[in-house]
Every structure is written in structure tokens, then in C-alpha cells.
């Protein structure tokens, strides 16, 4: 496996960084690990898309939302436009003479930040990873290290008593929550020699 640390992409209390991991894993071991993670509540399969492309032609898979926003035209009228907040995977395969695959991969993830929305339109937090890998036909590779970190703070208090100066702290509680999620993408390229082998 190869680990590459990329620079911090978000600042302040929000925190966030991308550590990019490329590795390979056997399909049987992968199924066992994913099943165990789901049963323990430590993982969830978000999507299982499949796409077919030809040698040296780019394939794109996107999943997410489109955020509407108003845009002024030159005449002064307004129109509704959309911007995408998606998880996108671009793959360009190159088949080698010995039936292996070199894949150019671009993974990008855009998250809308509704806490900093302006006129109802949130800015997008963007994360992107580019890499090139060489894999055997049918081998599964893992792209990981796209982290998402959220911090929240809340307070519970007894009405009136929690607001009394000096002693109010005895009647209230503060809760802090720090969550960190990692997105893992598993890619299994297969060379299709004829139409009968499409499954």
C-alpha cells in the first residue's frame, strides 16, 4: 500500500485533512471485512455502481445533489441556476499488453456548508485526489483518506436556575461531540473480451 499525506484543506475549529491511501485487497477478504464493519455499525455501503468504458476512454460516476440559486441576468431579471455538490469518480483505463490495467483516477467530494450560507446558498467544501495505479485484471484497489470531521456543542439547563450568575453552572450541562468519517472507495476493474463475459 502507498500512503501520501496531502496538506490540510480546512482551517479553524472545523478541522479537516486528506490522507490519501491506495492499496490492493483480495475480494474474499474485502467481503469479510465489509460485512464485519456493517454488523458492528462501523461502516455502511453507500453505493455500488458499475460502469463500462473502452480502453483509454474516461468513465464518470456522480452521486449527490444540485443546489438551486438565483442569478441576475444582464436585463436585470433573475433566473435559477444550479451548482453540484457531489461525490464524483473519474476513471480512465489503459490496458497493457500483458492484460493489466493502468488507471488514471480522480476522486472529488463536495460538501455544502449550510452554516456559512449566503442568501440561502452554501459555499462548497471541496476535496480532490488524483492518482495513477497499475492493477491486475479483476484486482480490487482501495482509495481512502477522504476525511470529514464535524464538531458540535450543545447545552442543557434548568430554566431560570441555569441563568443565575455565579451558581448557574450547577444547573446546566455542556455536551461536545467530535465525529470523524472516512470515505473508502473500492474499485475492481475487469477486462471484457466479448459480450458474453458481461456480468
Residue indicated by cell numbers 471541496: 126
pLDDT (tens digit per residue) in 126-161 = 888 888 999 999 888 888 766 676 677 778 888 877
Does the pLDDT value for residue 192 go beyond 60? yes
Residue 43 CB contacts under 8 Å (≥ 6 apart), including other chains:
34, 37
H, E, C per residue of 52-93? CCCCCCCEEEEEEEEEEEEEECCCCCEEEEEEEEEEEEEEEE
Averaged over 65-88, what is the pLDDT?
82
Residues in the chain: 199
Does the pLDDT value for residue 31 go beyond 60? yes
State whether residue 190 is helix, strand or coil.
coil
Averaged over 3-13, what is the pLDDT?
36
Each residue of 70-87: b (16+ CB within 10 Å) or e? eeeeeeeeeeeeeeebbb
- Going by the DSSP 8-state scheme, the letter that residue 28 receives in this structure is H
Mean pLDDT of the chain: 75
Contact 96, 137 (CB under 8 A): no
Q: Bigger pLDDT: 180 or 18?
A: 180
Contact 189, 103 (CB under 8 A): yes
Does the pLDDT value for residue 93 go beyond 90? yes
| Per-residue pLDDT at 97 | 93
Question: For the chain, what are the domain ranges?
Answer: 2-191
Averaged over 5-28, what is the pLDDT?
42
Each residue of 107-120: b (16+ CB within 10 Å) or e? bbbbbbeeeeeeee
Q: What percent of the chain has pLDDT over 90?
A: 13
Q: How far is CA 29 from CA 87, 140, 160, 181, in A?
A: 26, 11, 57, 22
Does the pLDDT value for residue 117 go beyond 80? yes
Give the confidence band of 12 by pLDDT, cuts at 50, 70, 90.
very low
| Per-residue pLDDT at 111 | 83
Does the pLDDT value for residue 122 go beyond 80? yes
Q: What percent of the chain has pLDDT over 70?
A: 74
Residue 163 to residue 159: CA distance in whole angstroms: 7
| Per-residue pLDDT at 72 | 77
Residue 155 to residue 153: CA distance in whole angstroms: 7
Amino acid at each position: 500500500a502507498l500512503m501520501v499525506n496531502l496538506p490540510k484543506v480546512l482551517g479553524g475549529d472545523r478541522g479537516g485533512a486528506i490522507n490519501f491511501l491506495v492499496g490492493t485487497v483480495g475480494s474474499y477478504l474485502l467481503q469479510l471485512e465489509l460485512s464485519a464493519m456493517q454488523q458492528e455499525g462501523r461502516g455502511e455501503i453507500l453505493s455500488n455502481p458499475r460502469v463500462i468504458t473502452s480502453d483509454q476512454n474516461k468513465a464518470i460516476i456522480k452521486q449527490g445533489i444540485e443546489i438551486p440559486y438565483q442569478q441576475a441576468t444582464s436585463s436585470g431579471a433573475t433566473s435559477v441556476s444550479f451548482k453540484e455538490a457531489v461525490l464524483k469518480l473519474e476513471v480512465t483505463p489503459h490496458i497493457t499488453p500483458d492484460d493489466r490495467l493502468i488507471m488514471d483516477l480522480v476522486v472529488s467530494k463536495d460538501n455544502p456548508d449550510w452554516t456559512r450560507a449566503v442568501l440561502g446558498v452554501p459555499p462548497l467544501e471541496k476535496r480532490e485526489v488524483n492518482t495513477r495505479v497499475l492493477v491486475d485484471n479483476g484486482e480490487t484497489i482501495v482509495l481512502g483518506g477522504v476525511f470529514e470531521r464535524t464538531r458540535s456543542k450543545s447545552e442543557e439547563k434548568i430554566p431560570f436556575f441555569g441563568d443565575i450568575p455565579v451558581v448557574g453552572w450547577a444547573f446546566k450541562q455542556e455536551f461536545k461531540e467530535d465525529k470523524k468519517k472516512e470515505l473508502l472507495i473500492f474499485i475492481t476493474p475487469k477486462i471484457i473480451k466479448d459480450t458474453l463475459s458481461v456480468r
